[in-house]
Amino acid sequence: MQTISARALASLLGAWRDRSPAYAALADRVRLLVLDGRLAVGTRLAAERDLAVALGVSRATVSAAYASLRETGHVTSVRGSGSVVRPLDRPASANERRPHPDGDVLDITNAALPAVDGLQAAVERAVTRLPQHTGGHGYEMQGVPELRAAVAARYSDRGLPTRPDEVLVTIGAQHAIALLARTFLTPGDRVLVETPTYPRAVQAFTGAGGRPVQVPVGREGWDDDALRDAFARARPRLAYLVPDFHNPTGATMPAHQRRTVNDLAARHGTRVVVDETMADLGFGDRAAPWVPFPGDVVHVGSLAKSVWGGLRIGWIRADAATVREVLNRRSPTDLGTPVLDQLVGAEVLPSLDELTTRRRGSLRAAHDALHAALAERLPSWEAPRVEGGFSTWVNLGEPVSSSLVLAARARGLLLSAGPRFGVDGAFERHLRVCFTLPPRQMHRVVDVLAAAWDDVARLPRLQPGPIALV
Ligand SMILES: Cc1ncc(COP(=O)(O)O)c(C=O)c1O
């Protein structure tokens, strides 16, 4: 069983004391960590006494917080093992998933949309092709030839000549990232990651023993000096970048910086992994058609964002030797991507641009609706307009993201707080807002955010001074 130490938990909790009583603020903050996956199910929480010391509060405060977590079903007490995060088999507390008064819960937790129109037809065509495969054993560890050819053709058409043996089909991009982590990292290796970034990639790297080294991505995108400094200081084994419509900021890396990354990686012996999962989702007037990242990098792609998350098709595009190396590490965790899904992928890829036209239009409409509503209702927030992807990274101006997310949740809006996208609890001033609902609902999202913002403003603040007891 994995235990989170008092120090690590204190660092994840960040500035948790946003109100009194302290035990309730602490319990709420742990709840948020559980809900957004930063505290994994099965994790044993630090002992009460140790956490009390690390947080500078009384043991009674921590005891009361743990008792409250037990009451709401977020942790369970196991004899001899302390308090353990448990799977949520029901909405954990009455106020956690209270529906929005106008209807269902509004959920913008995931950067994802329902399937594109045209998927059903592609599935039907794929089914008719299935008999070409069912006579064989079906264990297609590298991917069926027709899908690898379709992926290779897409890169070649976009200016990166690619052969089918330079493609490895995976079970989504997440699987690709995890395979790359397992293949190329040994415990203690440094991995350059952006901050904020897609958190499950960081989990894959740390799970393989990697140590994240962070380079900031902000409103203005990446900073040349920070990139130079991080490469030179850490000489990372891997660098993981999301250069197109970055999750969560929506930023896109300009061409000159891509060349800088290549130069730095060559100088410091770093293998660069570029995650181009969002690349097909440009919708702004200035969004240029996607071109693959230049140079000798490992490309990760997926149909999850452009077509449907339920179609678990991703891939790695790299030189053939790298592909073989990763392929050799694939077993025993899995024995290939389902053949029928791959055939669907081969059907959709050649017409991906047409299939995503509507999706890009919807994203643009939702993005514009969100910005119009934010400008009207929450003008103090800084919400950058973006050219593609699913989200914008709002600067709230105050370190209250977690409190705001809890208040929004109580009003029926589910979303992730800023610290979810940082390492070590940073980004309390930021909030990822996904524009993944239709425009009318995005207006409702902003209504709830505005009401939650008022709730947060009304929270009784703790006065600086003596440590608060329960
Ligand atoms: C940047 C990024 N990469 C990869 C993934 C996971 O993609 P897939 O569903 O293909 O595993 C996500 C999902 O949110 C993502 O945001």
For residue range 98-135, what is the model confidence (pLDDT) as tens digits? 555 556 799 999 999 999 999 999 999 999 999 999 99
377 C-alpha to center of ligand 1: Å? 31
Question: If pLDDT is split at 50, 70 and 90, which confidence band does 180 have?
Answer: very high
Q: Which residue has the tokens 């929004």?
A: 408
For the record, the structure tokens of 369 come out as 């609706």
Q: Please state the rounded mean pLDDT for residues 166-188.
A: 98
Q: Is 247 in the pocket of ligand 1 (CB under 6 A)?
A: yes
Range from 75-84, 309-318, 430-439 carrying the lowest mean pLDDT: 75-84
Nearest CA to ligand 1 atom 13: 111
* Pair (403, 361) in one structural domain: yes
Q: Which of 171, 123, 149 is nearest to 343 (CA)?
A: 123
Helix, strand, coil % over all residues of the chain, rounded to 5: 45, 15, 45
Q: Does 302 lie in the same domain as 162?
A: yes
Q: How remote is the CA of residue 277 from the centroid of ligand 1, in Å?
A: 6
Categorize the per-residue pLDDT at 36 as very low, low, confident or very high, splitting at 50, 70 and 90: confident
- Count of domains observed in the chain: 3
Nearest CA to ligand 1 atom 7: 173
Task: Answer yes or no: is the C-beta of 234 below 6 A from any ligand 1 atom.
Answer: no
User: Which residue, 293, 325, 354, sits at the end of a domain?
Assistant: 354
* Closest ligand 1 atom to 171 CA: 11
Helices (H), 270-400: 320-330, 339-348, 352-355, 357-377
Residue 465 located in a structural domain: no
Q: Specify the ligand 1 atom closest to the Cα of 302.
A: 10
pLDDT at 94: 37
CA of 174 to the centre of ligand 1 (A): 6
| 151 in contact with ligand 1, CB cutoff 6 A | no
Out of 93-107, 162-176, 265-279, pick the least confident.
Answer: 93-107
Burial readout 301-321 (b: 16 or more C-beta within 10 A, e: otherwise): bbbbbbbbbebbbbbbbbeee
Answer for the pair 359, 281: CB distance below 8 angstroms, yes or no: yes
The predicted-structure confidence for 284-300, as pLDDT tens digits, reads as follows 887 778 899 999 999 99
pTM, 2 dp: 0.87
Alpha helices, H only, 211-319: 224-234, 255-268
Relative to the CA of 177, which ligand 1 atom is closest?
A: 4
Which residues 6+ apart lie within 8 Å of 446 measured at CB? 370, 373, 374, 377, 378
Percent of the chain with pLDDT over 70: 94
pLDDT in tens, 40-94: 888 899 999 999 999 999 999 999 999 999 998 889 987 777 899 987 654 444 3
What separation in Å is there between the alpha carbon of 301 and the centre of ligand 1?
9
Find out whether 418 and 434 touch, Cβ atoms under 8 Å.
no
For the chain, report the end-to-end CA distance as a whole number of angstroms.
Answer: 30
Residues 410 and 281 in one domain: no
For the chain, give the number of residues. Answer: 470
Q: What is the pLDDT of residues 378-420, one digit of tens each?
A: 999 999 999 999 999 999 999 899 999 999 999 999 999 999 9
Shared domain check, 284 and 294:
yes
Tokens of 204: 């894959």
Say whether pLDDT at 198 is over 50: yes
Q: Which of 297, 326, 354 marks a domain boundary? A: 354
Ligand 1, from 217, 305, 415, 420: best to mutate by most atoms within 8 Å of Cβ?
305
Which residues make Cβ contacts (< 8 Å) with residue 94, sequence separation at least 6? Answer: none
- Is the separation of the CB atoms in 409 and 29 below 8 Å? no
171 & 318 share domain: yes
Residue 101: the pLDDT is 52
Q: Report yes or no on 466 lying in a domain.
A: no
The stretch 334-361 carries a mean pLDDT of 96
Chain-centroid distance, C-alpha 337: 22
- When pLDDT is averaged across residues 242-262 and rounded to a whole number, the result is 96
Atom of ligand 1 minimally distant from the CA of 309: 9
| Claim to verify: residue 127 and residue 263 sit in the same structural domain | yes
Tell me the two tokens of residue 73.
């079903």
Does the residue 380 lie in any domain?
yes
Return mean pLDDT, the chain: 91
> pLDDT tens digits, residue range 448-462?
999 999 999 987 654
Contact 430, 394 (CB under 8 A): yes
Give 244 Cα–ligand 1 centroid separation in angstroms: 13
What does the pLDDT read at residue 17?
Answer: 85
- Report pLDDT for 461: 58
Q: Compute CA distances 308 → 70, 140, 211, 347, 365, whole Å.
A: 37, 22, 32, 14, 19
Is residue 242 in contact with ligand 1, taking CB distance under 6 Å?
yes
CA distance 124 to 142: 24
pLDDT of residue 424 exceeding 60: yes
- Residue 338 structural domain: 119-354
Q: How far is the CA of 88 from the centre of ligand 1 (A)?
A: 23
Q: Which of 301, 322, 354 is the last residue of a domain?
A: 354
